[in-house]
Structure 1
Amino acid sequence: MAASHCDPSIPIRFQDICQDSFYFTETETDADLQEDDFCKCGREAKTFMIESNERKFLILTTDGTLEAQDLDQVERGRSGCKFNIQEYLDSSSQPKMGKPVMLYASKDGQKMVVCCRENGDVYPKPMDLPTNISGEEHEAMFYQERISCGRCRFESTMYKNHFLAFEPDQNIPGLYKLLLHYKGETEVDESCNLTLTTK
């Protein structure tokens, strides 16, 4: 196997494994670390249905809103129930609990990306997934933390300790909506635990 020669004076740090390749980043200066904190991984996005503890499924409705509904087996085959999770690489020097991801569904050929606002609202936004993101936070970037097989939490990169969760809509009985829910670091809160299923 041929080996390439690198300048030994430039420190490097292991980043990730992606498509059977090892990735390293140069850590020569602090400025280099901050240039692109998130970089889109070469792996294809994986497709899941997102389910709450109440057995309700997240859907992108025809009018472009995010809701959680009871769905039978046939209804689960609709395209609005399928959400893609795109992984990113994180060049931050601070260790995180999960991997950075963006979630999106497709509507009329357009990616509708799950985004959040300061007031806790979560909404779909038409967006082409960026390849590189400067900074440590983004409205559509979440840290996906695995809890157990098929179960995980999604923490907002913009709002620390705020996670995607389903909560009842106070205005419409029986309707659940997706929003950001605060959870303390030592607090046990099952509402933030979501289930990912492939069918």
Structure 2
Amino acid sequence: MSADLIHMHPVHFEDDGTLIFEVQVLESDSWRKHKTVKTQIFRNANNQVLVVKPEDKADGVAIFATKTDQEIEEESGIIFNIHIFEDSKPRKFPVAFSTKWNNKTYIMCIEEVGNQMKVTFRERDIPTYISEDVSSMIFFKIPFSEGDRQFYMFESTIKENYFLAFEKDENNITHLIIKRKEDEIDQFTRLSYSAPPNTLRNQ
């Protein structure tokens, strides 16, 4: 066997809390896509819906807003796919996010510009394999509190202790941001996701 390959028994939890062990051979320092949870909507602690407009050059690329069920169903940039990855050195629960806008696929990423971290959306498909131990598109999904299966925090893998969060500006618009978590309990990093209302009605 090549020296840069290691046998792994990746461990992950399914959405229902089931612990899964799988036998895989992964290259050192890498991520491999495992499965995709389709058609989810994100909400903040105020029950606002995340709306993404990747081609909008203004300061409203990703905001949280109050939306009706019909608007959620009809507008682009609200429905997300959550892509679950396996880690060659299992640490936490790695995920990536993509959405459709104008029939194009965009991936949520974190970029460091100068001394500032920011959320961006890049037009591309989710890769099935990433040959590095950190990635601008991979986040660690962490329960907001012990045993919580509704609210989560999402930590960037490129910079420890930086989490997706929401913040209201002077115009009362709530933006998706990335921020350093200073307090052990930071309500602004408290996010949830679920199937769209129309999907729940049809079940």
TM-score by length of 2: 0.76
Structure 1 residue 62: Cα displacement: 7.3
Corresponding residue for 2:117?
Answer: 120
Corresponding residue for 2:186?
Answer: 189
Corresponding residue for 1:73?
Answer: 69
Letter in 1 for 2:121: P
Letter in 1 for 2:194: T
Q: How many pairs does the alignment contain?
A: 177
Gap runs ≥5 in structure 1 = 1-9, 27-31
Once the two structures are superposed, the pairs formed by residues 121-160 of structure 1 within 5 Å of their partners are 121-147=118-144, 148-160=148-160
Q: 1:14 aligns with which of 6, 9, 31?
A: 9
Corresponding residue for 1:82?
Answer: 79
SS in 1 for 2:188: helix
Structure 1 residue 83: Cα displacement: 1.1
Cα 1:17–1:62, aligned 2, differ >3 Å: closer, same or farther? closer
Cα 1:136–1:79, aligned 2, differ >3 Å: closer, same or farther? same
Letter in 2 for 1:161: N
Gap runs ≥5 in structure 2 = 15-19, 197-203
Corresponding residue for 2:163?
Answer: 163
Letter in 1 for 2:93: K
Q: 1:107 aligns with which of 101, 112, 129?
A: 101
Identity of aligned residues (%): 23
Structure 1 residue 161: Cα displacement: 0.3
For 1:158 and 1:115, locate their aligned partners in 2 and report how far apart those are by CA, in whole Å.
Answer: 10
Contact 1:166 1:176 in 2 (8 A): yes
Contact 2:98 2:126 in 1 (8 A): no
TM-score by length of 1: 0.78
For 2:44 and 2:180, locate their aligned partners in 1 and report how far apart those are by CA, in whole Å.
Answer: 16
SS in 2 for 1:143: strand
For 2:67 and 2:28, locate their aligned partners in 1 and report how far apart those are by CA, in whole Å.
Answer: 45
Corresponding residue for 1:48?
Answer: 40
For 1:109 and 1:198, locate their aligned partners in 2 and report how far apart those are by CA, in whole Å.
Answer: 20
1:49-103 deviation digits (Å, cap 9, x = unpaired): 11111221111137442111111222121342111110111002xx52x311111
SS in 1 for 2:28: helix
For 1:114 and 1:33, locate their aligned partners in 2 and report how far apart those are by CA, in whole Å.
Answer: 24
Structure 1 residue 163: Cα displacement: 0.5
Cα 1:11–1:127, aligned 2, differ >3 Å: closer, same or farther? closer
Larger radius of gyration: 1
Q: 1:38 aligns with which of 12, 31, 53?
A: 31
Letter in 2 for 1:110: K
Corresponding residue for 2:17?
Answer: none
Contact 1:15 1:25 in 2 (8 A): no
Corresponding residue for 2:25?
Answer: 25
Cα 1:24–1:63, aligned 2, differ >3 Å: closer, same or farther? closer
For 1:162 and 1:174, locate their aligned partners in 2 and report how far apart those are by CA, in whole Å.
Answer: 23
